[in-house]
Structure 1
């Protein structure tokens, strides 16, 4: 085999390699770190910031404890709102749970059906006509 044939085979192999990598890239899953509604989140950022600051100002930070059976959130005052469990690795596993705290000012979320691993718990609630928001990483 002469050197011209080797160069052509080398270029053809490289071109096939690039085409295969391109096909794999286009057929892979979407990036989970990109938000589809980033524009709306940018517009509402001030509201989110104010809710988080209100939580710090009023010392209304809830106590969160989690195990494999349940997630328990204990509030300072009675609360009504939504809790979101977000799985950073798979958006399909995210859950939104509307709630109203019980007599003991607690929210109990069953965790048996949740996949083990890292979750982001985002709680938005209203208590005494004030809006609050709290975020925490939890591991089941």
Structure 2
């Protein structure tokens, strides 16, 4: 075999490699990344301080589940807030609830239209002019 054939075979092998890589690149599933990455980075300190405030004031919500409801009991009276019930595997199933507590500082979410599986609860609330942020994963059965 002479040099010409070797160079041509090397170039053909390299081109096949490039074409194969391009094919795999375009057929790979979409990489879901956080589109709010930079905005979240700018507010990281605020969120971190709100998460610390929960433990500092012993204000961790108590979460209980039964077959029909998700009962959340807050340690203090909530003036305003929201609870996000997020599905890590499918963001289209996420739900947001405005917090309205009863006399026992309880907030109840009906689970009749919520599918079973792993969920992430994100609490954002205000109490006594302090803002709180708390996250907890739950498994609905």
TM range (shorter): 0.7 to 0.9
Q: Distance in 2 between matches of 1:18 and 1:87?
A: 33
Q: What does residue range 65-104 of structure 1 map to in structure 2 within 5 Å?
A: 65-79=64-78, 80-104=80-104
SS in structure 2 of the partner of residue 108 of structure 1: strand
1:24 and 2:27 equivalent? yes
Per the TM alignment, residue 14 of structure 1 is displaced from its structure 2 partner at its CA by 8.6
8 Å contact from structure 1 (residues 119, 138) kept in 2: yes
How many residue pairs get aligned? The number is: 129
For 2:49, what is the secondary structure of its paired residue?
Answer: helix
Indicate if the aligned counterparts of 1:60 and 1:76 stay in contact, CA closer than 8 A: yes
What is the correspondence of 1:27-46 to structure 2 with a 5 Å cutoff? Answer: 28-31=29-32, 34-46=33-45
> Deviations for 1:24-44, whole angstroms, at most 9, x for unmatched residues?
31xx3542xx21101111100
Q: Structure 1 18/136 Cα, relative in aligned 2: closer, same or farther at 3 Å?
A: same
The higher radius of gyration belongs to 2
SS in 2 for 1:115: coil
1:113 aligns with 2:113: yes
Distance 1:49 1:19 in 2: 42
- Does residue 128 of structure 1 match 2:128? yes
RMSD: 2.3
Counterpart CA distance in 1 for 2:88 and 2:45 is 23
Q: Which SS does the other structure have where 2:99 is aligned? A: strand
Normalised TM-score (structure 1):
0.79
Segments ≥4 residues shifted beyond 3 Å:
13-23
Cα distance in 2 between the residues matched to 1:68 and 1:62: 20
Shift of 1:115: 1.4
Structure 2: stretches of 5+ with no match in the other structure? 1-12
Distance in 1, Cα, partners of 2:93 & 2:67: 16
CA shift in 2, pair 1:68/1:16, >3 Å: farther
Structure 1 unaligned regions, length at least 5? 1-10
